[in-house]
Structure 1
Amino acid sequence: MNIIIAGGTGLVGSELVRTLSRLDDTKIYILTRSESNEVNPYLQYVNWDDMKELLPINPHIIINLAGATLNKKWTDEYKQEILNSRLHTIDSLYQYVDSLSVKPHTYINASAVGYYPTSQHVKYDEGDVFQSHDFLSGVVSRIEYESDKFSQFDTRVVKTRFGIILDREQGALSEMIKPYKFGVGGKIGSGKQWMSWIHIDDAINALLFLIFNKDVCGPVNVVAPHAERQENFSKTLASVMDKPNMAIVPKPIIKAILGERSQLILEGQSVQPSVLLDKGFKYKYPMLEQALNHLIHIKDYS
């Protein structure tokens, strides 16, 4: 099986590559702009400018995880880069597939639960359809629209909407634990905002599930079954770390520091993984306390 992964060096991509490389008869091609000296007969790095090297391989699956990070200041210029980086990647992959005589049977594109409106009261799943209503939802809607074009090749299109991915080394959790290390963790803003999260192991297993379950297509929420309000998330994190949870960071301070990007922290959605559950996906860490206990006690954060 030949698999092309765009964005294979990021948080999800690197873990996915590590997992896929253990499968028999699987060759992975990572599209990148970085140099790599890794020697692995089942893994090949290909520069985006040299995609012609991929023409003879007949990929079975393409997984697109690429895109500029959201964790930089959202100037008008950088917001355009967030969108353009994703559109350019999709277009390059589309042009590549169009040139192939044998098309891949599956295309998986990553986006985010930012597709759904923020709400403290409503729960969403893949059956809910919305027009774009803010910057993030506009980005998700646009890249999912462009991803649907791969269906013209009779390719199965899966649009994964990731929640907050919890990992012991990278991403949101490594930032969340910092104030708790100094005893100043606690509620952010109202604390009522929802956090739709998922353990990194479950995120990777969900992608494997989607690769091999060929009857799944369209949007798929890659989140744990139980979203948590930020105030409950912080209490659980404090308990697991055996740290106090008494600080309150007012909303105006967060907005003053982060500007428009503060919506990632101050607002949220309660998102259900209805497709994964209906198709029989089994979570290793469905509950937040389970996930945090595993992640935090593997490595000492105290």
Structure 2
Amino acid sequence: MMKILITGATGLIGKELTQLLLANNHTVHYLTTSKTKIEEQSNYIGFYWNPQEGKIDENCLYGVDVIVHLAGANIANRWTNAYKQEIIESRTLSGELLFNLVKKYPNQVKQIISASGTAIYPESLSTIYDETTTETEDSFLSHVVKKWEEAADRFQVLGLKVCKLRTGIVLSNKGGALPEMVKPIKFGFGAGMGSGKQMQSWIHITDLVSLYYLAIEKQLEGVYNAVTPNPISNQQLTKVIAKTLKKPLFLPNIPKFIMQLILGEMSYLLFSGKNLSAEKVIKTGFRFQFPKIEQAIADLYA
């Protein structure tokens, strides 16, 4: 059995991953910026940290085999200049703090698995991108992903295996993008975004957490697209949600400029299209429980 240190353990993915690890008799150490969220059980122990101030309880590293780095400010908030800075720093300062801690003490940490994003890939309606793609997009979120991955790659000089999971749209009914998509459809106001043709690479939360587990078990290294083999267009996704909820779709698609007025620069998230390959993940032997969008939405909302 292993001891895993998780950052962002109280977030959407972190909670589910923690449950899976504990169910398989692993021990979880977790870092939290909230002292009220610190618990101490035999196999689930919390430690305080504050990356902004460079503070970390160094005991968190004791006996740890693998670090899973999920911490990062939510990108689905309005992108003011100050919040943009927070989005970047929450990923890079936290990575730096962990790096310095691992470097400071002799330890048995073998691997770090870092969350990453698909925003690094260029926009395209037709090109399917895999992990060998060197072409990147010139956007704020692409810049965030590059900085995020650089922070993870530094651990290689300490002899750790580094695995980066570039995660598509995570489908969960407990948070993230999906409940926000479902809300207007539920009330009969559902509509596609822009042309609706933009491709959306997605993954069910259960599959994503299983992929993290596989990455730990198989000590995976390198970059992996954490997406299903069946990306769909925004229009198709909207239709599948409406059909599952048994709701009509009669409104015209929402023009981009309207969402820009409402959400500002963050509206990018609704109109961004990425068609990504899942081949590399499949070659690890991973089997998707929810490879098709109809199965995923039915599991969450039927």
Category of TM-score, reference length = shorter chain: over 0.9
Q: Which residue of 1 aligns with 2:200?
A: 195
State the alpha-carbon separation in 2 of the partners of residues 101 and 186 from structure 1: 55
Q: Which residue of 2 aligns with 1:33?
A: 33
Question: Secondary structure of the residue that 1:144 maps to in structure 2?
Answer: helix
Question: Secondary structure of the residue that 1:68 maps to in structure 2?
Answer: coil
Determine if the alignment matches structure 1 residue 226 to structure 2 residue 226.
Answer: no
Q: Which residue of 2 aligns with 1:17?
A: 18
Q: Which residue of 1 aligns with 2:52?
A: none
Go from structure 1 to structure 2 and tell me whether the alpha carbon gap of 1:251 and 1:132 turns closer, same or farther (over 3 Å shift): closer
Match of 1:143 among 148, 160, 167: 148
Question: Secondary structure of the residue that 2:57 maps to in structure 1?
Answer: helix
- Aligned amino acid, residue 15 of structure 1: E
Q: 1:58: Cα distance to partner?
A: 2.8
Deviations 1:103-156 (A, max 9, x none): 411101111111101111211111111345111111111111121111112211
Compute the RMSD of aligned alpha carbons.
Answer: 1.3
Q: 1:51: Cα distance to partner?
A: 1.9
Q: Which residue of 2 aligns with 1:97?
A: 102
- Aligned amino acid, residue 10 of structure 2: T
Q: Which residue of 2 aligns with 1:245?
A: 249
Q: Which residue of 1 aligns with 2:189?
A: 184
Determine if the alignment matches structure 1 residue 3 to structure 2 residue 4.
Answer: yes
Match of 1:117 among 118, 122, 131: 122
State the alpha-carbon separation in 2 of the partners of residues 250 and 32 from structure 1: 40
Q: Which residue of 2 aligns with 1:106?
A: 111
Q: Is the 8 A contact 2:121 2:136 kept in 1?
A: no
Deviations 1:159-182 (A, max 9, x none): 111111111221111111111111
- Aligned amino acid, residue 234 of structure 1: T
Determine if the alignment matches structure 1 residue 83 to structure 2 residue 88.
Answer: yes
Deviates more, 1:177-186 or 1:87-96: 177-186
Q: Which residue of 2 aligns with 1:164?
A: 169
Q: Is the 8 A contact 1:187 1:246 kept in 2?
A: no
- Aligned amino acid, residue 45 of structure 1: G
Go from structure 1 to structure 2 and tell me whether the alpha carbon gap of 1:132 and 1:119 turns closer, same or farther (over 3 Å shift): closer
State the alpha-carbon separation in 2 of the partners of residues 228 and 44 from structure 1: 40
Deviates more, 1:128-137 or 1:8-17: 128-137
Go from structure 1 to structure 2 and tell me whether the alpha carbon gap of 1:131 and 1:196 turns closer, same or farther (over 3 Å shift): closer
Gaps (5+ residues) in structure 2?
50-54
Q: Which residue of 1 aligns with 2:58?
A: 52
Q: 1:224: Cα distance to partner?
A: 1.0
Query: Percent same amino acid among aligned pairs?
Result: 35
Question: Secondary structure of the residue that 1:151 maps to in structure 2?
Answer: helix
Deviations 1:22-53 (A, max 9, x none): 122x2211100112264532101100134222
State the alpha-carbon separation in 1 of the partners of residues 77 and 30 from structure 2: 25
Q: Is the 8 A contact 2:114 2:164 kept in 1?
A: yes
Q: Which residue of 2 aligns with 1:72?
A: 77
Q: 1:17: Cα distance to partner?
A: 0.6
Question: Secondary structure of the residue that 2:224 maps to in structure 1?
Answer: strand
Go from structure 1 to structure 2 and tell me whether the alpha carbon gap of 1:231 and 1:132 turns closer, same or farther (over 3 Å shift): closer
State the alpha-carbon separation in 2 of the partners of residues 183 and 132 from structure 1: 35
- Tell me the TM-score normalised to structure 1 length: 0.94
Aligned residues: 294
Q: Is the 8 A contact 1:4 1:61 kept in 2?
A: yes
